[in-house]
Amino acid sequence: MQLAAHEAQDLHELTLSCVNSVTTMAFFLNQVKNPELKAILQQHFDYHVKDYNIKVEYLSKPDGPTSTLQVPPLNNTLPEYTQSQAEEQPVTPRTQLNSLNDREIATSYMLTLKRAGREYAWAAMEASNPGLRSFLEDAFKMSSHHAFDVWQWMVKQGYYPLKAADPVITQTLGQMYDLVQGPSSVLQ
């Protein structure tokens, strides 16, 4: 498949990022202790391998990839969207270690997903090939959904703060804007 020069460069960077993601996930799977976090990593792993393989096919096959990336569902496991049920656990970086703990694994993985999601979104906005653009949009959604899974686990452990916005601030911000009045047939 013929790619534009910028598409090939973007795919190269995204593929190299996938090498890192798949490699670190394999490492994480050998170190993780919490069964729920391990199950999340195992469930996500095959998606990342598939994502990597599709990128390799875009870069190496004249006709492009033979398959598409399936976007995993967005799974909500939190009973409350604005308040953590666990007490927040403070954290300090460790400077002497031989292995990672579950919090470090989850943090590293979630930050990798967030960064990958931003890169997918940026590359999708620049893609001129409609098939590649669609794939990159799906890869963004995959990263977003996976990050949501890991974030929820972290919230449940008290590793990621979740607090409701101050109602006074929300009201103040809301009062800054007025709804647009008039025809809006496009969105009805």
pLDDT score of 63? 87
Q: Does domain 5-187 have CATH number 1.20.1260.10?
A: yes
Q: pTM of the entire structure? A: 0.92
Q: Is the pLDDT of residue 84 over 90?
A: no
Distance separating alpha carbons of residues 4 and 127, to the nearest angstrom: 8
Distance separating alpha carbons of residues 178 and 136, to the nearest angstrom: 35
Mean local confidence (pLDDT), 159-188:
88
Q: In this predicted model, what pLDDT tens digit does every residue of 48-71 receive, in sequence order?
A: 999 999 999 999 998 889 999 999
Mean local confidence (pLDDT), 135-152:
98
Q: Is the dihedral of CA 36, 37, 39, 43 positive or negative?
A: positive
DSSP codes of every residue in 141-169? HHHHHHHHHHHHHHHHHTSS---PPPHHH
Mean local confidence (pLDDT), 143-155:
98
Q: Where are the domains of the chain?
A: 5-187
Q: In this predicted model, what pLDDT tens digit does every residue of 104-139 receive, in sequence order?
A: 999 999 999 999 999 999 999 999 999 999 999 999
Distance separating alpha carbons of residues 173 and 31, to the nearest angstrom: 45
